[in-house]
Amino acid sequence: MPSVLTSESGSALNRQDLEGAEPTRPGIHVVKPHGRLIARGEKTVIIKNRRFTRYSGVPIYVVQGSDVWALIDMKDPRSISLRDFGRLRQQHRMSELDRETRWPGTGKLYAYEFELVKAFDPPLKAVKTPKEAQTFMERVQIEPRKEVPTEKKGIAPDLDFEEKGFHPVRATTAAELMKASAVVWKELPSGQRAELRERLAALEHEQWMKWAKAVIDEVESDRQDRWRSFFVPYKELTEASKDDDREWADKILQLIDELLSDIVTP
């Protein structure tokens, strides 16, 4: 990957110029929570049912709703089969249900790998965005950030919860402790987040087994046999079965992200 990127107009764009966001540039709209996943490096492939090359090698914004989460540099797409789609699930983070709902009857898809050039956390705001799930946009206009002065008062007026060096132990009120927790969660290393995801998925599997065993006598015999094949510890499940539980773990993580984001974002 070269250190100099090319803008849509063809002019050279140095990486250090990308530290701030340009007011207008191309973008791609993705559905929730994929913008946040891309910004955190947890999603590295975008799936589409058509081949587009216009923005290959062009830094574009990743837009989720009205939030601009990242700036990425997309590579030329490659054709993939449905089997490839399953193998790449950890990279594109889409479920089979998502695929069937979005592209019913489609047997050929395209994988767009990309490099994360810049993440925006908290996200920037786009002036106007489309409602479609995944749409390339020729122009994404960024709203200027509004500087909100921080009023420091209370027992510990010198606290700044947006600084990475904040020490949670110094928080002395319930509101300060919540903000401290939000900061710690935001800075959680990816490895610890992945471990938490697996533990939540295992908990979801235990919950399902408890429910299934309680109602198994009420379902058909063929379903009973199928359910009993899953009455094993989470670690003994196939990756496909684990992915079903991980989907619910992701919903919990997403909910925590949203709740704590409201606490630390003005």
Give the pair of three-digit tokens for residue 236: 């003994």
- Asked if pLDDT for residue 19 goes beyond 60, the answer is no
More confident residue, 3 or 260: 260
- Asked if pLDDT for residue 150 goes beyond 70, the answer is no
CA Rg value for the chain: 22
| Architecture of the domain whose range is 4-141 | Roll (2.30)
pLDDT of residue 202: 93
pLDDT of residue 177: 63
Chain centre distance of CA 19: 21
Q: How far is CA 61 from CA 39, 48, 136, 155, 259, in A?
A: 11, 17, 10, 41, 24
Read off the pLDDT of residues 185-217 as tens digits, 9 standing for 90 and up.
777 787 888 889 999 999 999 999 999 898 898
Segments making up each domain of the chain, as ranges: 4-141, 190-264
pLDDT of residue 38: 94
For the whole model, what pTM was predicted? 0.50
